[in-house]
Amino acid sequence: MQKIVECVPNFSEGRNLAKIKKIADSAKKIKGVKVLDTEWDKSHNRSLVTIVGDPASVLKASFEMIKTATKLIDMRSHKGEHPRIGATDVVPFIPVSGITTKECIELSNKLAKMVSTKLKIPVYMYEASAKRKDRINLADVRKGEYEGLKVEIETNKDRKPDYGPSKMHKTAGAVVIGARKYLVAYNVNLDTKNIDIAKKIASRIREKDGGLPGVKALGFDVNGYGQVSMNLVDFEKTNIEKAYSEIEKLSKKYKVGIRDSEIYGMIPMDALVLAVKNMLKAKDFKSNQVLEKRLYE
Amino acid sequence: MQKIVECVPNFSEGRNLAKIKKIADSAKKIKGVKVLDTEWDKSHNRSLVTIVGDPASVLKASFEMIKTATKLIDMRSHKGEHPRIGATDVVPFIPVSGITTKECIELSNKLAKMVSTKLKIPVYMYEASAKRKDRINLADVRKGEYEGLKVEIETNKDRKPDYGPSKMHKTAGAVVIGARKYLVAYNVNLDTKNIDIAKKIASRIREKDGGLPGVKALGFDVNGYGQVSMNLVDFEKTNIEKAYSEIEKLSKKYKVGIRDSEIYGMIPMDALVLAVKNMLKAKDFKSNQVLEKRLYE
């Protein structure tokens, strides 16, 4: 089975479209990689490029993009609302299919070595690749942002990078690299105008408050109706069908129905396979039974 | 979105593996086509090759296979248990994704023209491609088999082929070509040793007896437990989740549970997307939200 990994590097450039295009183009020219999306935000002064492909090609493409961003972006004059510590700010590797998180961790370490030795940029490892507990959360790694870290990296041993020099790159600053799971954005729309019920259900299912593992949830008012809006950060633990059935169960307690639900953005085929497998008790169902999967082996 | 079509030509050769390999190899050499499977049966003296790919490539590959089979198989000396009228007996085109049945009908007519003009083989169109009501069913088209049709094709105007000469090809006989829907094989295992319940549920859900559209079903004893074994011949009308929930509902009446279910063989991604869409009321969910689909656009 083909290994497919996704990588979504974030760059500190959201205004100069020519520069953003040059960064994305350095990935496009790598065989085996597909650029799925390029997004930018002017007020954040930040962009992100979504690429997918086989691990070796994605590694190469992500390095090429970082190299280009290092040439084009100067952090000394960068201003924007979004927290950041470098020209290439954060580079997550995400397993899509046929590949484990462990392999994505190895990939992230390979990239960190390349970036630190060839480009002389200090690298911090985060999420599943974190080498210290206080670096799992991105917010902790980015504390003080570019301006603050510039001083601390040289003076505070707790801020010493995992790879590369204990000194910010003159123009590119530092970069955060790591592996994380695929995030599925999933919303369930309740058949009630009582937004409080959506908020209560959200608080019951989110992991933080003792709910389902890997679920982040908030209750919202969407066009006058209650919506439970979720990020499923580990669909192998809690997938769309589990989230749906749990919300269905809770909403019955409030004597409220479900209007519909929405999968927002992209979802890996493995998440669909798992959903069908669980709902239909089809315990032996495997993703290589999906015809399209065989087509590209 | 990429158009993917499947084609499963059946050949009247199930004993000489060198010949079967030569037939499959004539598809393998066509770019854009993947040979998923080659099967053969000695007592049937029959083989089938499953190929998938873009429509133009699959058309080319199916023609190449028929050309090879025409050279290698002589119907005058063919013996086997399975009904057949030609060296290439039947060629179904099946929509997999991004392609309509209508487009598959066009494809089947293109192949019919090529086969009848270039190879001088008479062609009958069946299933969705049938040009007469009495040719929708394959069994009707194959009535009398090779030996009987050899006489009737020249004497009975109701047996006149849709394309090509009203005379059997000297060695290759005739061929049936057409478009049909993808068939999903799906079984639900009941938690009862009373096989009669499985048989009763099967009779309630099969289309023939007034059940669900596009469902063929039988009740079986599998390892001592009742199984409802189905062919879903039109998953857009009745898909796996509908079959499962209907059987679940009926089995409750018999106070019986469901042990598990099994998707047998391959299933198109669109059938999974549809299942998830229906189960989660995710009315806007589209197959191009599946990451793997985007990867190969």
**Domain-terminating residue out of B179, B207, B227:** B179
Sign of the torsion formed by the C-alpha atoms of A166, A169, A172 and A173: positive
Residue B36: give its domain's CATH number: 3.30.990.10
**pLDDT attached to residue B80:** 87
**pLDDT attached to residue B143:** 95
| Residue in A with minimal Cα distance to B241 | A280
Same domain for B26 and B150, yes or no, is yes
Same domain for B175 and B80, yes or no, is yes
Q: Does A96 touch chain B (CB under 8 A)?
A: yes
Q: What element of type H or E holds A259?
A: strand A258-264
**Domain-terminating residue out of A179, A202, A235:** A179
**pLDDT attached to residue B293:** 83
When scoring A96, A279, A280, A296 by the number of chain B Cβ atoms within 10 A, the one with the most, hence best to mutate, is A280
**Domain-terminating residue out of A133, A157, A179:** A179
A-to-B residue pairs, Cβ atoms closer than 8 angstroms: 132
Q: Does B52 touch chain A (CB under 8 A)?
A: yes
**pLDDT attached to residue B296:** 67
ipTM: 0.82
Q: Are strands A123-127 and A175-179 parallel, antiparallel or unpaired?
A: parallel
Rounded Cα distance, B243 and B214, in Å: 10
Same domain for B152 and B234, yes or no, is no
Same domain for A124 and A16, yes or no, is yes
Within 8 A of A96 by CB-CB distance, chain B residues are 291-292
Same domain for A87 and A160, yes or no, is yes
Same domain for A155 and A220, yes or no, is no
Contact A292 B97 (CB under 8 A): yes
Helices within chain B (DSSP H only): 17-28, 55-72, 101-118, 138-141, 145-155, 195-205, 240-253, 269-279, 291-295
Contact B228, B187 (CB under 8 A): yes
Q: Are strands A46-53 and A33-41 parallel, antiparallel or unpaired?
A: antiparallel
Q: Does B296 touch chain A (CB under 8 A)?
A: yes
* Contacting residues for B106 by C-beta, under 8 A, at least 6 apart: none
Count, in order, helices (H) and strands (E) of chain A: 9, 11
Q: How many residues make up chain A in this entry?
A: 297
Contact A240 B291 (CB under 8 A): no
**pLDDT attached to residue A98:** 86
Rounded Cα distance, A91 and A65, in Å: 11
Angle between helices A269-279 and A240-253 (to 10 degrees): 50
Q: With a cut of 70, list the residues of chain B below it in pLDDT.
A: 1, 296-297
Q: Does A296 touch chain B (CB under 8 A)?
A: yes
Q: Does A272 touch chain B (CB under 8 A)?
A: yes
CA-based end-to-end distance of chain B: 6
Would you give the DSSP letter of residue A170?
T
Interface of A with B in 63-82 (CB under 8 A): none
Q: What are the φ and ψ backbone dihedral angles of A107, each rounded to 5 degrees?
A: -60, -45
Same domain for B156 and B99, yes or no, is yes
**pLDDT attached to residue B297:** 62
Same domain for B19 and B161, yes or no, is yes
Q: Domain of residue A249: give its range.
A: 184-293
User: DSSP characters for B268-296?
Assistant: -HHHHHHHHHHHTT-TT--GGGBHHHHHT
Same domain for A156 and A48, yes or no, is yes
Contact B9, B39 (CB under 8 A): no
Rounded Cα distance, B6 and B93, in Å: 6
Contact A177, A108 (CB under 8 A): yes
In 10 A of CB A223, how many CB atoms?
Answer: 7
Distances (CA, A) of A206 to A57, A76, A198, A216, A238: 36, 40, 12, 5, 11
Same domain for B229 and B193, yes or no, is yes
Q: With a cut of 70, list the residues of chain A below it in pLDDT.
A: 1, 296-297
Q: Does A222 touch chain B (CB under 8 A)?
A: no
Residue A253: give its domain's CATH number: 3.30.70.670
Q: Does B262 touch chain A (CB under 8 A)?
A: yes
Would you give the DSSP letter of residue A7?
E
**pLDDT attached to residue A288:** 86
- B47: three-class secondary structure by DSSP: strand
Question: How many structural domains is chain A composed of?
Answer: 2
Rounded Cα distance, A267 and A13, in Å: 27
Rounded Cα distance, A134 and B219, in Å: 59
**pLDDT attached to residue B228:** 96
A82 is catalytic: yes
Contact A62, A176 (CB under 8 A): no
Which residue of the set B44, B78, B82, B169 is catalytic?
B82
Q: State the nearest Cα–Cα gap between A167 and chain B, in angstroms.
A: 39
Same domain for A174 and A216, yes or no, is no
**pLDDT attached to residue B289:** 92
Contact B24, B38 (CB under 8 A): yes
Within 8 A of B281 by CB-CB distance, chain A residues are 258-261
Cβ-based burial of B80 (10 A; exposed 0-12, middle 13-18, buried ≥19): middle
- A218: three-class secondary structure by DSSP: strand
When scoring A276, A289, A294, A296 by the number of chain B Cβ atoms within 10 A, the one with the most, hence best to mutate, is A276
Q: State the nearest Cα–Cα gap between A144 and chain B, in angstroms.
A: 35
CA-based end-to-end distance of chain A: 6
Same domain for B173 and B212, yes or no, is no
Rounded Cα distance, B37 and A273, in Å: 22
CB nearest to B294's CB, from A36, A258, A294: A36
A75-92 per-position pLDDT tens digit: 999 998 889 999 999 999
